[in-house]
Amino acid sequence: MLSQTIATDSLVTITFAIAVFGAVSMFGDQEQRQLNGGLIVFLAVAAFDALAVLVDLWEARGPLLWIGRLEPVVIFLYGPSIYLYVLRVTGKTPPFRRAALLYAGPMAVALPLFGAAAMLPRDVQVAMVASLPMPDSVEGERAAALMIAMQASFVAITFGFLVACWRVLDDNLRRVGSLFSSIEDRTLNWLRVVIVLIFFAWMQAALQPLLAGFYETGGWSDAVDAGVTLSWVAILVYFGIRQHSALQEPAPRARSLPGDDEVPEKYARSALSADRMRQLGDRMTHLMQRDALHRDPSLSLRRLAEHVGASPNYVSQTLNDHLGVSFFDFVNGFRVDEAEQLMRTTDRTFTEIALDVGFNSRSTFNSAVRKHRGTSPTALRKR
């Protein structure tokens, strides 16, 4: 049992250190602070949560008891903070008023429960914080009911925010596919891994009282929970420090021809005729073939629009409504065409071919070949 406690203590301590390091590092950089405001709050909450676990493991009482008392309230900030980070990194930064409401909502649920718990006798509060058996009294029953209410509210609210995060990431995947030809660093798939880990970790923690009858809780179970928590905190810090906005593009704004005014919404008030879309589609295809624009891994919708001489909105409308493809698939089609020629006429490796035709990695090359040719690069070369 001692080794299990030491393992849990070590994992939680590392989690605390990584969370503090990540939050302080991001807060100290102005650009990181603007992009990662929600993530900084999330990591600060994770650090406080880890500290509360350590206080419990150390069986610290007295002055440190307030940490355990506040922990059930502070963790309600997990949901809105990760959601605000996902919105910000996908280019959907909400106005301050909405962001404040996202934090105020969970607090409106947590604070009344906290107030009710604060009115209980001190020995009952200690039992709640230290997960000790509740006294056989009316106050003990009230405390047990409050703990269930807190757990249920936390799970419901946090689950709602995680689902909202997933939907934002789905929308981001569609958007970056319509704007960029290389999207590996823009899909934010690492955030999906974090969301899954968080979901299972918190569901297990919330259901632990119910699962106690099926397997022994505590001991190595706590160590596993601490290990999972360490995993998603480490992933958040590692990728969060490196992540830029999914829609960030260093290229200058595209010029528009007379009458091709850009509009904020997709095709809003667009007057492109079918004949105009056909002409624009032919011009895009011609320029892609003549200038081999697909070889540029950073080619974006805006850059293609610059070459074509039309607004990005008109180019996007032509791709979707006339050619029936997204920008991502349109460009990758030319990359796969050239890659197939190179595979048939040279003995160069797949990685060399992939990089030469504009792919950023072998994995994206493999996926594109399978999508556009229905087979693997190896099988395609043998045809």
- In this predicted structure, which of 139-153, 224-238, 287-301 has the lowest mean pLDDT? 139-153
Q: From CA 49, how far away is CA 44, in angstroms rounded?
A: 9
Percentage above 90 pLDDT, the chain: 44
Indicate the pLDDT class of residue 269, thresholds 50, 70 and 90: very low
Q: How far are the Cα atoms of 105, 182, 212, 230, 335 from residue 358, in angstroms, in the given order?
A: 46, 8, 54, 37, 7
Do 40 and 23 contact (CB within 8 A), yes or no?
yes
Of 59, 77, 211, 227, the C-alpha closest to 129 is: 59
Do 217 and 225 contact (CB within 8 A), yes or no?
no
Decide which of 24 and 220 is more confident: 24
Percentage above 70 pLDDT, the chain: 85
Do 259 and 43 contact (CB within 8 A), yes or no?
no
Decide if pLDDT at 370 tops 90.
yes
Decide if pLDDT at 293 tops 90.
yes
Q: From CA 47, how far away is CA 53, in angstroms rounded?
A: 10
Model confidence over 60-77: pLDDT tens digits?
A: 555 566 777 788 899 999
- Please list the residues that pair with 180 across neighbouring strands: 300
Largest CA distance in the chain: 84
Residue 19: the pLDDT is 96
Decide if pLDDT at 1 tops 60.
no
- Stretch 368-383: mean pLDDT, rounded? 89
Decide if pLDDT at 216 tops 70.
no
Question: Any idea where the domains of the chain sit in the sequence?
Answer: 2-242, 274-382
Decide if pLDDT at 184 tops 90.
no
Residue 265: the pLDDT is 44
Statement: 274-382 belongs to CATH 1.10.10.60: yes
Decide if pLDDT at 58 tops 50.
yes
Neighbours of 337 (CB within 10 A): 15
Decide if pLDDT at 251 tops 50.
no
Decide if pLDDT at 332 tops 70.
yes
- Please list the residues that pair with 300 across neighbouring strands: 180
Name the average pLDDT for the chain: 84
Q: What is the number of alpha carbons within 13 Å of residue 85 lying toward its C-beta? A: 28
Is-same-fold flag (2-242; 274-382)?
A: no
Residue 381: the pLDDT is 87
Decide which of 210 and 85 is more confident: 85
Instruction: Give the global pTM.
Output: 0.76
CATH architecture of 2-242: Up-down Bundle (1.20)
Helix 327-345 × helix 301-308 angle, to 10°? 80
Residue 104: the pLDDT is 94
- Stretch 139-145: mean pLDDT, rounded? 85
Do 368 and 332 contact (CB within 8 A), yes or no?
yes
